[in-house]
Amino acid sequence: MDTATIQIENLSHRYGDRLALDGVTFESAPASLTAILGPNGSGKTTLFRILTTLLRPSAGTARVCGADVIECPGAVMQSIGVVFQQPALDGKLTVLENLIHQGWLYGLSGGALRTRCKELLQRFEVADRAGDRVDCLSGGLRRRVELAKALLHRPRVLILDEPSSGLDFGARLTLMSHLQELRDRDSVTSLFTTHLMDEADRCDRVAILDQGRLAAIDRPAVLKSTIGGDVLMVRTAGVPAALAGKVTQRFAAAAEVVNGLVRIERDQGHVFVPQLVEAFPGEIESVSVGKPTLGDVFVRVTGRGLDRLRDDPDPMS
């Protein structure tokens, strides 16, 4: 796609003997919102660092707005706004002072800079805190200031690393609403890393990374449509693997163990539950039935549960 804002082709990176990214290829269209979904250690932060010119890839290419991250890092930096996982604000400065200093770095000054700061502070509803020191703000308010800071120079692309880290549910919803508004109102292309499925579900496309490889990429609805029927999660009083084997043998249904539970995909799951309980009396403690989620897609394409891997070490953490 020649008009892609972000173009990644066969991107790889090694930390010594460890392959953190393994031939990743995908594109992001203009004015789109893309989530990079995966557990810690999947390569998300490595990809973020490469796209923001902080890390040189071992192989492959990455372009942002047509500029190569290796050959033209200056052009890339002019095109992007960046929000790091850990706040990159000076807590001893006021909100306005943080924005002004950021503006100077991009050659902005005078009345034009102050007008732009005022516009963004009003947009993200922190104008009343402009004179407050940043270390007095809540986590959610700091994230809003981070967004304002990243957008001062009117970038075409916004790249964020775990932007909702440490935020409560309400602040996370507000953050996602801002990203969607930037897409719809300002035609900003946003790409962010996450391990939270509800955030990824609100995006135009989701790229699933697993152990450095791109396991799947598409619209959330399309990814979930690859799962047939309902998903049952069964808690057993016995050994989960033993019950999974008996379910497969008795009902010819694919059953596997995920996070200590037996996971079964089945059409009309609510009808199947009584059959399952009657077939194995005393072995089943509880059963939940739900429609497929991105977590189910992750299990399907990787063979592992996203929650179980969430605390795996990441070399860039």
pLDDT in tens, 153-207: 999 999 999 998 888 888 889 889 999 999 999 999 999 999 888 899 999 999 9
Identify any residues that bridge with 256 across adjacent strands, giving them in sequence order: 263
pLDDT of residue 1: 41
pLDDT of residue 3: 76
- Cα(first)–Cα(last) distance of the chain, in Å? 33
Using the structure block, give the residue that is written with the tokens 């020649």: 2
Indicate the DSSP class of residue 256.
E
Using the structure block, give the residue that is written with the tokens 């739900």: 290
CATH class of 6-223: alpha beta
Domain boundaries, the chain: 6-223, 228-291
Q: What is the pLDDT along the chain (317 residues), one digit of tens a residue?
A: 447 899 999 999 999 999 999 999 999 999 999 999 988 889 999 999 999 999 999 999 999 999 999 999 999 999 999 999 887 899 999 999 999 999 999 999 999 999 999 999 999 999 999 999 999 999 889 999 999 999 999 999 999 999 988 888 888 898 899 999 999 999 999 999 998 888 999 999 999 999 999 999 999 999 988 887 888 999 998 999 999 999 999 998 878 888 899 988 888 888 999 999 999 998 999 999 988 888 888 888 887 665 543 333 333 33
User: Quick one: 75 exposed, middle or buried, by C-beta within 10 A (0-12, 13-18, 19+)?
Assistant: middle
H-helix or E-strand spanning residue 112:
helix 110-123
CB atoms < 10 A from the CB of 178, how many? 21
Q: Rounded distance, CA 85 to CA 166, Å?
A: 9
pLDDT of residue 299: 82
CATH class of 228-291: alpha beta
